Amino acid sequence: DTEVTQTPKHLVMGMTNKKSLKCEQHMGHRAMYWYKQKAKKPPELMFVYSYEKLSINESVPSRFSPECPNSSLLNLHLHALQPEDSALYLCASSQGIQARGGELFFGEGSRLTVL
């Protein structure tokens, strides 16, 4: 059983829609991540939150807007997406930057299709 929960598992949206992806973890981790994964490719980092503050934005287009309401929750707000944004969106968490290792715990992902 995954300890990082993502909803919804599947999402289909038009280019003018507004939708959100949600992620929750209860492992006490202080870092949370959004990754984008295209078919047959490795995950690409989009955003990192550390202690609920945005630490890294990998030059992601503004049509993706992250939000970290508290230490357990991470959202990704989607607006005016393009068909090429269709992908698997993975949420992950890890211990804080001072911890040794910092391995990532992933959710099962939200598969997004933009029509």
Is the distance from CB of 7 to CB of 108 less than 8 angstroms? no
Region near other proteins per CB under 8 A, out of 14-22, 49-57, 59-67, 77-85? 49-57
One of 56, 61, 69, 82 touching other proteins (CB under 8 A)? 56
Please give the span between the terminal C-alpha atoms of the chain, in angstroms, as a whole number: 32
Q: Decide: helix, strand or coil at residue 33.
A: strand
Residues at the site binding other proteins, with contacts judged by CB under 8 A: 2, 4, 6, 31, 33, 40-43, 45, 48, 50, 55-56, 90, 92, 97-98, 100-109, 111
